[in-house]
Copies of this chain bind each other. A is one copy, B any other.
Amino acid sequence: MDFQDQDTVGDNRYLVKPLYKAAQVLRTVCQSPTALTLKDITELCEIPKSTVYRYLYTMQKLDMIAHDPRSETYSPGLGLWWLMQTADPFANLRLVGRRQRRKLMKRFNATVSLGVLTGSQILYLEIIECSRSLRMRAQPGARDEVHSTALGKALLAFRPRSQWDALIPEKMVRRTANTIVVRRDLLENLEQVRRNGYAIERGENEDGASCIAAPIIDENGFSVASISVSLPTNQTSDALFSEIVAAVVDTCQIIQSRL
C-alpha cells in the first residue's frame, strides 16, 4: 500500500550513495501534492541542505526536477515524463477498455480496479472511483498482497501452477478475520477460481468490503492483468453478485480481444 520501503538494504557493497539519496529527494518531490521548497525537502529527507541543494541543482539540469524561481519551489520535471513515454510498460493496458471499465463502474456504482502482478503483490494500475460515500482509499500505484485480494487471486489462478509457489508470499499476512492465511486453502481457492473463471473475496482484505475479479488472458492463456468490482459487503445480494460476476467476466473478455 505504501511506497516500497528502502530501509533494509542487504548488500551495500555496490550502492552508490549519491544516487540513493538523490532518489529519496526525487521521490519526496514527486510524492508531494504541492511544490516544495528547499527547506521542506531538507526536513523531509533529513539530508543537509547543501547536499539537497546540489542534488536539486543537478536534477534540474537533468530535467528531472523543475525549479520555479518565483516561489523558490521544486516540482517534478518533464524529463521524468519523457522517460515514461518509452518506459511505461502498462500504457496500453490502461488505455484499452477504459470505457468498458467506466461503464462497469456506472452500472453498479462500485469502484472498478485494474491491477497487474509484480512479484507477489498486486499493483493497482487504475482505480475508477464510484460516487458512494464509503469507497476504497487506494491510489493507482498502490499495492496489496495477492492472497487477500480478488484481483490477486484472479491473476494468480491463471498463471502456470508451477509459478504459484513462488508468487504466493512467504508469510500470508492476515488483514482481516476472513483473510486466507493457510497456503493449502489458498491453493484450493485458486483451483476453484480457475474452474469458475472469476475470483471473489468477501472482507478478506478490508473488513466490510467485497470484491469480484476476473482475469485478462493473453494469447498463451496466461493472465496479464485483472479487473475487479468492489463494494460494501452488506449491499451485495446473491442476485447482484452473480450479475456483477457476469459483467466483469464480460468486460475482461471484451478487453482481451482488443489487446
Contact = CB atoms under 8 A, between A and B. Distances in A.
Nearest to A18: B18
Query: Chain A: interface secondary structure?
Result: helix
Copies of this chain in its oligomeric complex: 2
Nearest to A23: B62
Given A78-B118, A83-B26, A62 B19 contact: yes
Contact of A19 (B18, B31, B83, B88): B18
Nearest to A50: B14
Contacts of A33: 86
Contacts of A254: none
A30 B89 CA distance: 11
A30 B80 contact: no
A231 interface: no
A58 B118 contact: no
B80 A87 contact: yes
Contact of A81 (B14, B16, B90): B90
